[in-house]
Amino acid sequence: MPDVYGYINASSQRQDAVGHLALVASVVPYSQLTLSEAVGVTLDMMRLDPRPELGHPSKAATDWAEHGLGLIDCWQARQLRYQGRGLGDVETLARRIDALRVMCARWHVHQAEMDLAAAKDKLTAR
């Protein structure tokens, strides 16, 4: 875990941070981590995504929601094929998946608020 978080921290400082964060997010569900731990790492990476602060929350939400769907697929596969081995704490897993969903929803709402404000500004400029 220290190596993973070291890489995440270093890559979050780069101009191309999103690509590095997405790379780690695509690998952690298939690592030696339990799935509940992998979702925790994914949430930490989501918090480091610079796009919401740069004015692109909807794009970030859509990309991370895709990772979330992949995590749910992993959950189902481990449940069906491996009788639940490698899931970790299922309650924690469910809470973290829900936190991912809520964060994506908030980013979409933030995008809608930004779009509404831009539309209002456009109307008042007329």
pLDDT digits (tens, 9 = 90+) for 86-97: 999 999 999 999
pLDDT digits (tens, 9 = 90+) for 3-62: 889 989 898 889 899 999 999 999 999 999 999 999 999 999 999 999 999 999 999 999
* pLDDT, position 124: 93
* pLDDT, position 4: 87
Alpha-carbon distances, residue 52 vs 40, 60, 79, 109, 120 (angstroms): 19, 7, 34, 11, 21
For 32, phi then psi, to 5°, come to -80, -5
Average pLDDT of 92-115?
Answer: 97
* pLDDT, position 3: 86
* pLDDT, position 64: 97
* pLDDT, position 2: 85
Q: How many CA atoms lie within 13 A of 85 on its CB side?
A: 4
* Token pair of 66 as six digits: 């895709």
pLDDT digits (tens, 9 = 90+) for 57-69: 999 999 999 999 9
